[in-house]
A and B are shown apart, each in its own frame.
Chain A
Amino acid sequence: MRGAFIRTLTRLAKNDQRIFLLTGDLGYMALEPFAEEFPERFINVGVAEQNMVGAATGLAEAGLIPFCYSIVTFASLRPYEFIRNGPILHQFPVRIIGVGGGVEYGHNGATHYGLEDVAVMRAQPGITLVAPADHTQTVTALEKTYDLPGPIYYRLGKDDRITVPGLDGLFELGRCQTIREGKDLLILAMGSIAYEAATAIDALKKDGINCSLAIVASLNPAPTADLVDLLSRFRRVMTVEAHYENGGLGSLVSETVAEFDLRCKLTRCAIKSTPDGLTGSQQYLYEKHGLSAQRLAAQARDLLCEVLV
């Protein structure tokens, strides 16, 4: 998604002189296309994320559209109060780009995992929150939202190879995208882990279990109408996210179920414990936290076996 993001931003910046790209000294071998084409609109602020967001606030006050780039934790958590008091309180069009949602930075260890960014951003009513599932959706999401008024947080994956089959770049703010239809179970997925969910669904299909899969990339505004429609049609629902259990997609769906008096059993597949100090690849960590395709399929089977009254 990182490559798709920078290619799209560079293309948009050709026609929109307001676009600036700021980085907290990250994005080596990724941001060069923009930096080389628009050196006067590219600023490496150094390892100083608070100042990056503060400076972006000043740029945006003057009518510019600054994008602030870093790894998820450094982009969202380190400067969180600056994001709150700057772009959000002023409703300035600053864009925060967090790369590597979930455990994508596997071997780099816990400091590099993005596990609570959606929770803290979703707590703020005044920021649009977009978490695309693959590079095709990243392109559309960026094109459709980059010049919205007010701030935006984009949670991106760094992988540009994985494509979620059937997504084909679909994105609409405040909507979700249903890319598989099946009547036994509904799976709702956020971010690049949607690929694992799609793979799990393919495996379940071989056993005669038919699942629906909807991608939730617009977290704020939430796709409330779509969620209510989908959740009303299923007794069993699973949410899948590479994020802590509280505050992310599982919480959004729980809130919707409660607020609209819906009747479904929900399994929240997410990361449920603080990293224990043992690192490994993303795939190793997915397996460990029950988020690999195989373990998601197993949880789906468990949910289908539950007797619901």
Chain B
Amino acid sequence: MVNHLQAGLSVPLQNISCTTGGTTAQQPISGAKLRRIVIEQSKRAGVGHIGSSLSVADIIACLYGGIMKIATPDDPDRDRFVLSKGHAALALYAAFHLRGWISAEELNTFCGDGSRLGVHPEHLLPGVDFCTGSLGQGLSFGIGAAFAGRFQNSARRSFVLLSDAECNEGSVWEAIMFAAHHKLANLVAILDLNGQQAFGYTKDVINLAPMAQRWQSFGWDVHTVDGHNLEQISAVVNSLDTKNGAPHVLIAHTTFGKGVSFMESQIKWHYSPLNDSEYKQAMHELEGQA
């Protein structure tokens, strides 16, 4: 456990997600509430990528529930965010809704004709800083954003959420090398280490282990966290020196499909939509969670 004073915090850890460090306090976002939106909207729209959204639900809840400083989506000095694993966009839309940036009515357009809410995020939607969906591009966008922030003497930070399988892309390693060389301390990558990809488990497709050591050997400041422990993620991010030193990565151990028993660690839920009985069971399980 990181001491909140050492972490430079002015409030105890249990309240960490209530402060943005700015003038307006950001209410914490419940991971379970965010998951329920993911399940509801996936079912309504009849689309998949559910497991990936559930995998990052707690990380997204944490980032948008107070970690990132975003007073409004158009504030030039807001922290930037890149959902490099764009296929988890539904979790992002759920967070935007819980932040009050998109209405329930618009949320219900998810995957409809003429909607701003597609399977992958488009920057037309306020709050989406960068379009993603093609894996391996987001970290480069994020390093550019971090470099610009430093050049412009801004305290803003650049957050990038990557998938583990995305590290199959060589371009990710181009960006990793660049960020370390330029000591982009204001860059925070979060790696969703759920061990799965579309066709199987990462250990069977392209073995990425040991992930933490790989990033460390490239010169990053590496932290291993439980990707479903909001308090731990908050404490680590708030303890980072984002002004000097190496770029940071949180290797977040997660469970694919987290929160819905029959989805957890099952490859099927990368693409499959829910049928009626699966939907009922999923919602039943999530309603029992805080």
Contacts and interface: CB of A to CB of B under 8 A. Distances in A.
Given A82-B137, A85-B137, A89-B131, A61 B175 contact: no
Interface in A40-56: 40-41, 43, 45-46, 48, 50-51, 53-56
A94 to B, nearest CB: 10
A203 to B, nearest CB: 49
A82 B130 CA distance: 12
Contacts of B80: 58, 61
Given A59-B148, A86-B141, A90-B123, A50 B171 contact: yes
A62 interface: yes
Interface string A58-89: 11111110100000000000000110011001
A57 interface: yes
A57 B130 contact: yes
A61 B148 contact: yes
Contacts, number: 98
Interface in B127-156: 129-134, 136-137, 139-149, 151-152
Interface SS majority for chain A: helix
A51 B130 CA distance: 15
B17 interface: no
Interface residues of B, number: 32
Contacts of A60: 144
A50 B140 contact: yes
B134 A90 contact: no
A58 B152 CA distance: 13
A59 B177 contact: no
B171 A61 contact: no
Contacts of B123: 89-90
Given A85-B131, A85-B137, A58 B148 contact: yes
Contacts of B132: 85
B177 A48 contact: yes
Interface string A159-182: 000000000000000000000000
B177 A58 contact: no
Contacts of A82: 137, 140, 171
Contact of A58 (B133, B134, B147, B182): B147
Interface string B232-251: 00000000000000000000
B218 interface: no
B178 interface: yes
Contacts of A62: 76, 144-145, 148-149, 152
B278 interface: no
B158 interface: yes
A58 B171 contact: no
A70 to B, nearest CB: 14
B174 interface: yes
Nearest to A66: B144
16 contacts: A48-B174, A48-B178, A50-B136, A51-B174, A51-B178, A53-B140, A54-B139, A57-B141, A57-B144, A58-B80, A58-B145, A59-B144, A59-B148, A61-B129, A63-B148, A66-B144
Interface of B: 76, 80, 123, 129-134, 136-137, 139-149, 151-152, 158, 171, 174-175, 177-178, 181-182
**9 closest residue pairs by CB, A with B:** A58-B144, A54-B140, A62-B148, A51-B174, A55-B144, A48-B174, A58-B145, A50-B171, A59-B144
